[in-house]
Amino acid sequence: MAEKRIGKVVKSNNHCDYVVELDDRLAVKDPPTVEDYAFGTFVKLESEQRHWAVGVIYNTQLFNPSFLNTGPRLSSDPSPFFAPDLQSEMRTLLGVVLLGSLESSSGQTYGIQGIPRVVVPIHTLVYRMSEEEIYQFHQDRLSRTQFAYYGLLLNYGGVFAPHVLRQILDQVSPMFYGQQRRALEILSRELAWKLTLGAMNP
């Protein structure tokens, strides 16, 4: 899957919780499709100079200033040609939590998981990560599977954190084999219990 730009950083809530504004058809020629910015999608924050961080979409929000603005209008539908600014006021915002970064040395790319040290600047571009990159991110320098952002995501991933995690596990598990895959499935089962039966008797 090709590298797909999906938006840019417009704000942050804290050091690892960023708000990304989704590109629309007025901003880019080829705007992202709904699959590109789905809940639980891995993204990388990169500018032309460098790679900043890897994150995951843990929340989305639709922003619409004209909501409840039901004043009298002459025409039933606003014309995009005569009022383009108003049209582009409508936004989709993506909540992205940073989980680490990708590192390359001697031809090998691997993930460094945990809160990144650097501060990602405003307007940094956000790309959807390829399957290959996701796989690389879940391997450490010695090519061992890692899932060390589990605790980080569970604590800072907002109200849907366990659900994001579960979705990620479902997405990531098939990339691995044998013991590593089994270990990931155990984590997935633990979460499944918490979300379903565990929720019945808190």
Partner 1 sequence: MSSWNGHGEKNPLAATVIGTVKGPGETANRYIFITSAPEAVKAGEFVTYLGGEGQPVLGKIIQIELLDHLPDRIFADVEIDPRAVAALIGFSEPNPEIYGVTVEIVGYFHPALGFVNPRQAPRPGAKVFLAEDELLRAVLNRKAADSQGAARLGDLLLRPTVPVVLDVKELVSTHLAILAGTGSGKSYTAGVLIEELLLPKNRAAVLIFDPHGEYGTLAEMQAHPAFRGEDGYSPKVQVITPDQIKIRISSLNFYDILTLLPDMTDRQKSFLEKAFSRTVQGSSYRWTIRDLIETVNDLDSSQDGSQGSSAAALEWKLEQLERSPYFSNHEHLAPKDLFAPGQVTILQMNEISQEEQQVIAAAILRQANHARMNTHKGKIQEHEENYLPFPVFILVEEAHRFAPAHEESRCKKVLRTILSEGRKFGLGVGLITQRPGKLDSDILSQCMSQFLMRIVNPIDQENLRHSVEAAGRDLLQELPALTKGQVIVSGVCINTPVLCKVRPRLTKHGGDTLDILGIWHQHFQPHHRHEQRLKQATPTPRRDPELVDGVGID
Residue 53 or 99 with smaller CB distance to partner 1 = 99
CA 86 – CA 65 distance, rounded (Å): 9
Q: How far is the CB of 191 from partner 1 (least distance, A)?
A: 10
Q: How far is the CB of 184 from partner 1 (least distance, A)?
A: 7
Residues that bind partner 1 (CB under 8 A): 113-114, 145-151, 179-180, 182-184, 186-187, 189-190, 193
Q: Which residues face 125 on adjacent strands?
A: 8, 46
Residue 103 or 190 with smaller CB distance to partner 1 = 190
Question: Would you say 136 and 110 are in contact if contact means Cβ atoms under 8 Å apart?
Answer: yes
Residue 91 or 181 with smaller CB distance to partner 1 = 181
Q: How far is the CB of 106 from partner 1 (least distance, A)?
A: 24
Backbone angles phi, psi at 169, to 5 degrees: -60, -40
Residue 93 or 148 with smaller CB distance to partner 1 = 148
Q: How far is the CB of 130 from partner 1 (least distance, A)?
A: 23
Residue 41 or 146 with smaller CB distance to partner 1 = 146
Residue 51 or 181 with smaller CB distance to partner 1 = 181
CA 64 – CA 86 distance, rounded (Å): 10
Q: How far is the CB of 150 from partner 1 (least distance, A)?
A: 4
CA 73 – CA 172 distance, rounded (Å): 50
Q: How far is the CB of 61 from partner 1 (least distance, A)?
A: 29
CA 15 – CA 97 distance, rounded (Å): 9
